[in-house]
């Protein structure tokens, strides 16, 4: 995202609440995960994927997960390829994004699901999805529990800044 645009969008982002990721998994039909963005902030990303799989396998969460992998540049393909076989082995759904950044593809998938009547949200550290969908989950660490900030973008605020 263009740094100037990013600064504008940040001014228009409002935090709705902070919840645990487990709580979020009970509220949504789908959580679309921008994997590169999320694993960047984790010490053990493989454990995160295993926990997603276990939560789905044992019916501990309502949400289905769709993991979006960035395939838009050679370096992204190399990194994402390491995860694909593991994601398949864990029985998780995934999409690759060869033509655009993963966070944009995640938002487009989310928008399509919302338009089809599903409760869906993107999990990403980036603000780009907020240009396509109105809300997203952004990870934050507090008190040794993995939590997420549920944020929304004020569209009127963005229009006034453009």
CATH number, domain with residue 79: 3.40.50.1010
What is the reported pLDDT for 145?
A: 54
3-state DSSP assignment of residue 138 = strand
The residue count of the chain comes to 162
Distance CA 148, CA 92 (A): 21
Is 60 among the domain residues?
yes
Alpha helices in 3-162 (DSSP H): 3-11, 21-27, 35-40, 45-57, 74-89, 102-115, 155-161
Is 157 among the domain residues?
no
Whether 143 contacts 18, CB under 8 Å: no
Tally of CB atoms within 10 A around 113: 20
pTM confidence score: 0.90
Domain of residue 127, residue span: 17-152
Is 12 among the domain residues?
no
Q: Are strands 64-70 and 120-123 parallel, antiparallel or unpaired?
A: unpaired
In the predicted model, what is the mean pLDDT of residues 4-16?
A: 85
What is the reported pLDDT for 28?
A: 96
What is the reported pLDDT for 141?
A: 65
Is 129 among the domain residues?
yes
Overall number of domains in the chain: 1
pLDDT tens digits along 42-91: 778 888 899 999 988 888 889 999 999 987 767 666 677 788 889 999 99
What is the reported pLDDT for 83?
A: 86
Is 123 among the domain residues?
yes
Is 162 among the domain residues?
no
Is 7 among the domain residues?
no
């Amino acid at each position: 995202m263009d740094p100037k645009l990013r600064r504008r969008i940040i001014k228009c982002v409002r935090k709705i609440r902070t919840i645990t990721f487990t709580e979020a998994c009970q509220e949504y039909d789908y959580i679309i995960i921008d994997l590169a963005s999320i694993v960047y902030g984790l010490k053990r990303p493989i454990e995160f994927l295993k926990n997603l799989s276990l939560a789905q396998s044992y019916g501990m969460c309502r949400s289905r997960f769709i993991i979006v992998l960035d395939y838009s540049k050679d370096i992204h393909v190399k990194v994402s390829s390491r995860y694909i076989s593991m994601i398949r082995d864990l029985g998780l759904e995934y999409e690759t994004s060869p033509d655009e950044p993963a966070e944009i593809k995640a938002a487009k998938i989310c928008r399509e699901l919302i338009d089809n009547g599903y409760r869906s949200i993107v999990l990403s550290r980036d603000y780009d999805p907020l240009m396509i969908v109105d809300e997203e989950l952004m990870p934050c660490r507090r008190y040794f529990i993995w939590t997420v900030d549920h944020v929304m973008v004020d569209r009127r605020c963005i229009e006034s800044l453009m």
